[in-house]
Amino acid sequence: MNLMLSFLKNKLQKKKKSIYLLNDIFTPASSAKISYIERKSIENSLSKALDIKGKQIVIYGHSGSGKTTILQHVLKSKSVIKITSRCISTSTMDSIILDAFDELNPYYIQSFSLNEKDTLKSELSADYLGIKSSINASLEVSTSETKNRILPPQLTIQRLGQFIGQASAIWIIEDFHKVADSEKTKISQTMKLFMDMAEDYPKLKVVVLGAAEHGSEIVAHDRELSNRITEIPVPLLKESEIELILRKGSEALNIKFEDKLIKAITNYSNCLATIAHQLAYNLCFNNNIHETLRSCKTIYSIDLEQAVNDFSNEKQDTYDQLYKAITEQKKGVYKNVEIILKNLAQLSEEYITQSELLKEIQKEHPNYPQGNLSTYVKQLASAKGEETLRNNSGRISFSDPFFKSYVKMINYKYDS
């Protein structure tokens, strides 16, 4: 009798659906967890590199390709302790070091109070707290009255490596492509130093993430680094993978996206998971779906227009600023970026070759040089050009399909 009751109870529990929040399913601004889709080849390469003592790692690919999401998934599966530093255009190596030092705070406060029997850890904890006090006491005041922390002489890269190594953590540096080349050279030197420290701290390593087409664009290599760094490319998602995200997410929320709607979202997303997540989120929110439903509900393609408008309205100011930033140039015969964007936007095909684009441009500007086109397409596909374009094996497209619509609108207004 007891066995029968236990069987029935387990059966009921299996049938009972978990309740998820919309925010946890479609996550346009953070790493996906519940709606995460496996990318086995990349995950295996990353997992292997993490296990090799002294091996440093560069993960690269276009923004929105899923670099951070994959890294977070693999680290969680391996129960790896991490500290993370995020770069902006004004980041320097000193500011990155200070940021990493701050991230270590929870480990060393706890270490100092709970692990007094560990002589080395106690000494490092005391050193950590001493340096922390020095940093807090020293502020540099600029002419604009902005207070900046000064990197104390005793907080060297080697010392930071000891702190990170003793915490058995790895150091993740995100968006490193945004900083100046001189700082990229310094991170190469840091990787080299961390390799040498691996004998004392086997788990110590740097994982650098950046939006680039090649790993060498993020970190300036030297010969000693070439065989001791793993470069892991993360390509954009395939259309089938975007569809899988949508189906997996809808199943968790107990909703059904019409097949026609899934195809449309996939097309709009332009192989970028973040756009697919945002449109799916908008669709659910507009249909008053904020958590897993008790009974299944179908969402139809007729609802997509409002979701697209919501997305576009949220991005309007961003697009205005982006367009002004990337089209600004010194005097010249041609307004190169404006010409390229205008002509690319008015073509109906999603991907076109450079020769096809040149042919379109030369309808209006017969003498437009191929060299100009090559130079500015490369710039627009790089961090300097805000990765406005994607250039996959010579086939060019907008990274963000909504920005393509914006460019169409701008040029229609100017031409009217």
> What burial letters (b/e) apply to 395-411, b meaning 16+ CB within 10 Å?
ebbbbbbbbbbbbeebb
**90 and 135 fall within a common domain:** yes
- Phi and psi based region of residue 234 (left: phi greater than 0; alpha: psi -120 to 50; beta: remaining): beta
Q: Judge if 68 and 198 occupy the same domain.
A: yes
Given a contact cutoff of 8 angstroms between Cβ atoms, the answer to whether 399 and 388 are in contact is yes
Distance of CA 274 to the CA centre of its chain: 10
Question: By residue range, what is the domain housing residue 240?
Answer: 236-326
CATH label of the domain that carries residue 250: 1.10.8
In sequence order, what are the beta bridge partners of 139? 149
Overall domain count for the chain = 3
pLDDT of residue 71: 96
Query: How many Cα neighbours within 13 Å face the side chain of 292?
Result: 14
d(CA 361, CA 366): 8
The pLDDT assigned to 117 comes to 40
pLDDT tens digits along 270-289: 778 888 999 999 999 999 99
Q: Answer yes or no: are the C-beta atoms of 273 and 66 closer than 8 Å.
A: yes
Dihedral sign from CA coordinates of 175, 179, 181, 183: negative
CA-closest candidate to residue 338, choices 411, 413, 416: 411
Residue 14 counted as domain residue: no
| Residues 220, 122 share a domain | yes
Q: 201 and 241: one domain? A: no
Residue 203: name the closest of 195, 211, 212, 214 by CA.
195
User: Whole-angstrom Cα distance, residue 317 to residue 362?
Assistant: 31
Look at residue 416 and tell me whether its pLDDT is greater than 50: no
Predicted confidence (pLDDT) per residue in 68-112, tens digit: 999 999 999 999 999 999 998 889 999 999 999 989 887 776 554
Q: Examine the fold and report which residue of 186, 217, 233 is the final residue of a domain before the chain moves on.
A: 233
Which of 3-12, 44-53, 340-349, 350-359 is predicted least confidently? Answer: 3-12
Alpha carbon distance 134, 159 (integer Å): 15
Quickly tell me which residue has 């390469």 as its tokens. 45
**104 found inside a domain:** yes
Which tens digits make up the pLDDT trace of 296-336? Answer: 999 999 999 899 888 878 888 888 999 999 998 777 789 99
**Which of 279, 302, 326 is where one domain is finished?**
326
Please indicate, yes or no, whether residues 64 and 205 belong to a single structural domain of this protein: yes
The helix/strand count (H/E) of the chain reads as 17, 12
Give the whole-angstrom CA distance, residue 113 versus residue 158. 24
Q: Mind listing the pLDDT tens digit for each residue in 335-375?
A: 999 999 999 988 877 778 999 999 999 999 999 999 999 99
Does residue 22 belong to any structural domain of this protein?
no
Closest CA to 343 of 406, 402, 411: 411
Q: Which of 233, 302, 249 is nearest to 23 (CA)?
A: 249
Question: 392 and 248: one domain?
Answer: no
Average pLDDT over every residue of 217-233: 75
pLDDT score recorded for residue 391:
80
The length of the chain, given as a count of residues = 416
Residue 236 near residue 390, CB atoms below 8 Å = yes
300 in the same domain as 213:
no
| pLDDT band at 118; cut points 50, 70, 90 | very low
Q: Measure CA of the first residue to CA of the last residue in the chain; give whole Å.
A: 81
Rounded Cα–Cα distance for residues 307 and 349 (Å): 23
**Of 318, 314, 323, 316, residue with least CA distance to 385:** 323
